[in-house]
Chain A
C-alpha cells in the first residue's frame, strides 16, 4: 500500500533529510514513526503525500510510484489520503462544518451529498454539537478533531498524522489518540509521526524509529527477526 524503497532525500548544500529509507505499510496497519525533531519523520510523510519527491529510490503509494505521477494526478492521490498536522491547519474564517465540507467541495462532490457526509464525520469525531463553531471558539483538542474529520471525510485508505498531539495537553492527547485508534479499528491505516514515547508505549503498534534521516529500528522487522532468531 505504501512502500519506500532505498529512499534518499537531499537538499542543496548536501543536507540529507532521508538516507536509504526502506519501509512498507500494509493495509489497515497502525504505524508509529518516532525520533527526535529533525530525524526525518515529517520527511517520510511528505514523501507519501507527494509534498516532495525522493532524490533517489522509489516511493509507491496505492500501487503507483510517485515519480511517475503527473502534476494533475497528485490532487487525486491526496483525496485518497487523510493528512493531519500538529498545527491543525484549519481555515480560520470557516466553521468546523465548513472546514470539513471544503475538503469535499474541492473534489467536486455533489452539493446534496456534502451535508450528510460532513455530519457523519463530525459525529464520528464527537463534534456534532460544535459544527457551527469557528476554530478560535474551539479548544486545541477540538480543533484537531475537526482536522481529523476533514481528513476522514473522503474515506481515505490511510491517515497520515504529523505530530497530531504535539500542541495538545495530556487529556486532549489521550482523546485524539483514542480517536485515531478507533479510526484504525474501522479499517483505515494510520501512520502517526510522534516523539511522545509515552503514547507509543500505550499501545502495541508497530514502531519505526528514525535518526538523522535513517531508519534505526523497525519493530515490524527487527522484532520479527529477533523472534525468528
Chain B
C-alpha cells in the first residue's frame, strides 16, 4: 500500500499539468451534472411550496353546533393523510373575507346578516397532496354529518400533479443524460493518463509485477483525481448558486450529504475508469 501511494504521488509529480487537467475535466463534467440536478431540486422545491397550499375546505351547515365540529375535527385528525384541521367560525370567515376581498367592501357594508358558513380547513401531509388522495379524503369528508359542501380545487391540483410528474421525469432524464456524458468524459480522461504510462505498465509486467501491484497505484490515482474533481465540482456549483441567488432568485443548495455524494461519485468513477483502462493494458503483456 505504501508503495502504491508512493507511485501515485510520483505519477502526480511527474505530470502535474496532465494531472491538474484531468482533475479540472472531471470537475467540469460533474459541475454540469451538478447544475442540472440543482435546477431540478429547486424546481421540485418550488412545486412542493405550491403544494403547501393544497387544502380541503369543509363547509358546515348553518347552525351546526360547535361540539359537533370539534368531534368531527378529532375524527378527521385521525385520518392518516391529514396533518392539521382548523375550525373557522362564521364570524371569522367574514372577517377574513373582508380582509382579503377589499374590492367588495361595499357589498360587505350592506350586509345585514353574515352569509358565510363556518368551515373546517383540512391540511394534508406532503405525501398525500396529489389529486387521488385529496379526492379520496374529500369523499370521506362528505360523509360527515353537518357537512354542506367540500371544496378542494380539483382542477389545479390535477394540473400541479401533472407539472410535478413532468418536472420529475425531465430532471431525472436530463440528469441521467448529463451523468452518462460525464462518465464518458471522465473515463476518457483517466484513460489518457493511463495511456501516458502504458510503457511503464509493460515494464512493470516484464519485471514480474503482479496485476494487483500494477493496478493499485492507478486505482489510488484515479480515485484521488475523481474525488478532487468532485470536490471542485461542488465548489463550482456553489459559486454558480451564489451568483444566481444574489442576482436572480433565492433557491436551495445541496445538503451536505448531497454534496458529499458528488465527491463519492467522482471517487467511484475515477476508481472504475482506472480499473477498466489499466485492465486493458494488463491484458496486452
Contact = CB atoms under 8 A, between A and B. Distances in A.
B127 interface: no
Contacts, number: 45
A103 B208 contact: yes
B202 interface: yes
A102 B203 CA distance: 10
Contact of B285 (A51, A76, A91): A51
Nearest to B210: A75
B202 A106 contact: no
A72 B210 CA distance: 7
A75 B202 contact: no
Interface string A16-53: 00000000000000000000000000000000010100
A91 B202 CA distance: 11
A79 interface: yes
Contacts of A103: 207-208
Interface in A102-156: 102-103, 105-107, 150, 154
A80 to B, nearest CB: 8
Contacts of A71: 211
B208 A78 contact: yes
A106 B14 contact: no
Nearest to B285: A51
B208 A93 contact: no
Contacts of B207: 78-79, 83, 102-103, 106, 150, 154
Interface residues of B, number: 17
B208 A79 contact: yes
Contact of A89 (B10, B14, B203, B210): B203
A89 B208 contact: no
Contact of A78 (B3, B10, B206, B211): B206
Contacts of A72: 210-211
Contacts of A91: 200, 203
B211 to A, nearest CB: 7
B205 interface: yes
Contacts of B285: 51
B209 A75 contact: yes
A173 B210 CA distance: 33
Nearest to A82: B207
A212 to B, nearest CB: 25
Contacts of A102: 204, 207
Contacts of B200: 91
A154 B203 contact: no
Contacts of B202: 89
Q: SS class of chain B's interface: helix, strand, loop or mixed?
A: helix
B213 interface: yes
A83 B206 contact: yes
Contacts of B203: 89-91
B209 A89 contact: no
Contacts of B204: 102, 106
Contacts of A51: 285
B206 A89 contact: yes
B199 interface: yes
A106 B213 contact: yes
Nearest to A103: B207
B3 A105 contact: yes
Contact of B10 (A49, A77, A79, A93): A93
Contacts of A154: 207-208
A93 B14 contact: yes
Contacts of B209: 75, 106
A75 B14 contact: no
Interface string B1-32: 00100000010001000000000000000000
Contacts of B206: 49, 78, 83, 89
Nearest to B3: A105
- Residue of B202, B204, B208 with highest tally of chain A CB at under 10 A: B208
B208 A75 contact: yes
Nearest to B11: A93
Top 7 closest pairs, chain A to chain B, by CB: A79-B208, A106-B209, A78-B208, A103-B207, A75-B208, A75-B210, A89-B203
25 contacts: A49-B206, A51-B285, A71-B211, A72-B210, A72-B211, A75-B205, A75-B209, A75-B210, A75-B211, A75-B213, A76-B208, A77-B208, A78-B206, A78-B207, A78-B208, A79-B208, A89-B199, A89-B206, A91-B200, A91-B203, A103-B207, A103-B208, A106-B207, A106-B213, A107-B208
Interface of B: 3, 10, 14, 199-200, 202-211, 213, 285
Interface of A: 49, 51, 71-72, 75-79, 83, 89-91, 93, 102-103, 105-107, 150, 154
Given A51-B285, A83-B207, A106-B209, 4 more contacts: A75-B208, A79-B207, A89-B203, A154-B207
